[in-house]
Chain A
Amino acid sequence: MARAVTLNRRLFNTGLAWTLGLLIFFPILWTILTSFKTEAEAIALQPALFDFEWTLANYQEVNSRSNYPRFFMNSVIIALGSTLLGLLIAVPAAWAMAFVPSKRTRGILMWMLSTKMLPPVGVLVPIYLLFRDSGLLDSRIGLVFVLMMVNLPIIVWMLFTYFREIPGEILEAARMDGASMKSEILYVLTPMALPGIASTMLLNVILAWNEAFWTLVLTTTKAAPLTQFIASYSSPEGLFYAKLSAASTMAIAPVLILGWFSQKQLVRGLTFGAVK
């Protein structure tokens, strides 16, 4: 009897999870399907789910109008660059906060998190002026820097949560064996926290890939990533949904694939503290 209840509960949970998953995925599926429709079918009042004339015309037009590889490469460089630079700063910071906490550690962590509560537009003009005066407008290095700053609080918090789960005694033992601080972080802490660092990295690559405020405002042509590629297909006067969907599908495909293959690490990373 107990077994039957467990099975029922399991079926219910599985059903609920699938329903929720499909609901969340539906807008993405709809975008992908719309990208294969004509503009007229894309806005039909009774839209077809699968029963329509499939066409690649939108992809052909998007490819002929935009230089997709350039936008894609900029996205890759900006997302990876900002994440790696962020890790370089966040690993020592999180180590210090997790293993050598001071009275102010908690306050600093909360302050770092509070910077995420400021609407980005509030600092648009000062940052724009700084970029203008430093010659960083429309440069990949400028965007790498600004996205690293934007995501740094999340990286530090995630790594801090991971590092706290690692017993301090192991690091102490390494120290007693004569390991320097650098060796301790590089050869003892990092290998143990690698799953956590990997999931932090993945999440931040996704966040940087999708960032659509600074990447739109601070770039024009040379450093413009895929967010600008998508934004160029919306129109106030004229039908654009099918072409916009094609552009969106091309922009999200790499990150969807990355997310699919790394979902285990991502889930583990996001729930690490809770299940430990």
Chain B
Amino acid sequence: MTYFKKAALAVATGAVLAAGTAQAETVTIATVNNGDMVRMQGLTDDFTSQNPDIELEWVTLEENALRQKVTTDIATKGGQFDVMTIGTYEVPIWASQGWLVALDDLGDDYDVDDLLPAIRGGLSVDGSLYAAPFYGESSMVMYRTDLMEAAGMEMPDAPTWEFIGEAARAMTDRDNEIYGVCLRGKAGWGENMAFLTAMSNSFGARWFDEDWNAQFDSPEWAETLNFYVDLMNDAGPPGASSNGFNENLTLFQNGQCGMWIDATVAASFVTNPNDSKVADSVGFALAPDNGLGKRSNWLWAWSLAVPAGTQQEEAAKKFVAWATSKAYLELVAENEGWANVPPGTRTSLYENPEYQKVPFAAMTLDSINEADPTNPTVQPVPYVGVQFVAIPEFQGIATATGQQFSAALAGQTSVEDALANAQALTVREMDKAGYPK
């Protein structure tokens, strides 16, 4: 009997051990190489100590490589990833295709109502959250307070394009290589077209009317592009058609830009005295408007989503809940300081007195709240997205359109021709894709 008891105990112990081994799960996370993401990788001990049965594997890639890879994987149900870092552009498209797991059950203490409404709206389809925001951003004006003062002007909190134009021309001093305004000019759907699409919203333009007819032949687009090209010719840096985020960041940090209208995340870079020569003289304002009720700021959130078909759904959700929780924000603040907390996701962060001391916190929140992805334009549109149109065809069309507009900025083609070409190629691609659907 004793022998049998021992044998039974041994079998039971073996079974428990085997079950334990079987339960040890590996969650593979695809992510981009942005500062906040890298910081998260360094803090994952906190997660694994709370969840010793879950191992984390990271795949960090450049944004375009990551987009290609996760798109291929999810479209073919390859199952290589359990958590994917995706943006507000992908979420509505992928969720509609049934490629993402709904994240409506991230735990009782997750407090989903604390997510900023604009960000939550951009990541939800039919009322269900399909990706949890890791950090959110809008765009705003960053300007040199000293140059503005020297020009005898004062930046309002909510400037108009007319003011930006006047100020940029007044601040420009080409002999000393100081340029009034630095804006994106490099071709790409996430480069110049992100900026120009958001800018066009404030001029009353739109990509498509309610029947999906391309609108580049409208007077609003002509006004947008003429204003942009004239402004950059008068007050922009040389070679602006090659400048994206990083190039303009370099110019601004070197003290060569009077104003820079770009992602709110740049605020922490330009105010960091270790990297920026002008850290002490930077002010912030909302992205400009034209008095039509829409500003030219965009909305983006790098978010964590769980692909449908993952074998590790519960473990993946646990990780997503941890990385986008209030507790994670406090963990970062404890280890790296409040200025390094991932911004733009939770209301409670902006109510925190410690975070309110961060110089760009209030303007970031105001900028995010000004953007409405479900109602982005002055006139009605059939699409979602502020600086993009959330349809699969947009990446290709906008990149080709961006090349036309970049050529207009470089002086290789006229604004009229660039718009005519953009109209023709958009009509052709939309016809090919079968719109209106």
Contacts and interface: CB of A to CB of B under 8 A. Distances in A.
Interface of A: 39-40, 43-45, 65, 124-125, 128-129, 131-132, 137-138, 216-217, 220-221, 224, 228, 231-240
Given A45-B250, A132-B78, 4 more contacts: A233-B33, A235-B34, A238-B34, A238-B269
Question: Chain A: interface secondary structure?
Answer: loop
A124 B73 CA distance: 11
B81 A236 contact: no
Interface in B33-75: 33-35, 38, 41, 57-63, 65, 68-69, 72-73, 75
A132 B249 contact: no
A30 B57 CA distance: 33
A220 B28 CA distance: 8
Contacts of B384: none
B250 A237 contact: no
B97 interface: no
Contacts of B57: 220-221
Contacts of B59: 220-221, 224, 228, 232
Interface string B73-97: 1011111110000000000000000
Contacts of B253: 40
A217 B61 contact: no
B136 to A, nearest CB: 13
B410 interface: no
B427 to A, nearest CB: 25
Given A43-B250, A128-B76, A221-B28, A237 B62 contact: no
Given A217-B69, A220-B57, A237 B34 contact: yes
B72 A124 contact: yes
A131 B266 CA distance: 41
B38 A65 contact: yes
Contacts of A217: 68-69, 72
Q: Which of A224, A228, A231 has the most CB of B within 10 A?
A: A231
B24 to A, nearest CB: 16
Contacts of B246: 43, 236-240
Contact of B245 (A65, A131, A236): A236
A129 B33 contact: no
Contacts of A224: 59
B412 interface: no
B61 A231 contact: yes
Nearest to A44: B254
A39 B62 contact: no
Q: Which of B68, B76, B244, B245 has the most CB of A within 10 A?
A: B76
Given A217-B72, A220-B59, A221-B59, A237 B266 contact: yes
Interface string B242-256: 001110011101101
B63 A39 contact: no
B117 interface: no
A239 B249 contact: yes
B282 interface: no
B275 interface: yes
Interface residues of B, number: 43
A39 B254 contact: no
Contacts of A238: 34-35, 246, 269
B141 interface: no
B155 interface: no
B63 A236 contact: yes
A173 B244 CA distance: 67
A232 B61 contact: yes
B227 to A, nearest CB: 26
Interface string B155-172: 000000000000000000
Interface in B288-346: none
* 4 tightest Cβ-Cβ pairs between the two chains A and B: A234-B62, A232-B60, A235-B33, A221-B57
B299 to A, nearest CB: 15
A235 B254 CA distance: 20
B263 interface: yes
Nearest to B188: A236
Nearest to A229: B60
B125 interface: no
Contacts of A232: 33, 59-62
A78 B170 CA distance: 59
B361 interface: no
B73 to A, nearest CB: 8
Contacts of A43: 246, 250
Interface in B260-278: 263, 265-266, 269, 274-275
Contacts of A138: 80
22 contacts: A45-B254, A65-B41, A128-B73, A129-B76, A131-B78, A138-B80, A216-B69, A220-B28, A220-B57, A220-B80, A221-B28, A221-B57, A232-B60, A232-B61, A232-B62, A235-B32, A235-B63, A236-B63, A236-B245, A237-B246, A238-B34, A240-B246
Nearest to B177: A45
A137 B80 CA distance: 8
A139 to B, nearest CB: 11
B190 interface: yes
Nearest to B66: A231
A132 B76 CA distance: 8
Contacts of B254: 44-45
Contacts of B32: 235-236
Nearest to B69: A217
Contact of A132 (B38, B77, B245, B263): B77
B263 A235 contact: no
B34 to A, nearest CB: 6
Given A39-B275, A220-B81, A231 B249 contact: no
A157 B283 CA distance: 63
A128 B78 contact: yes
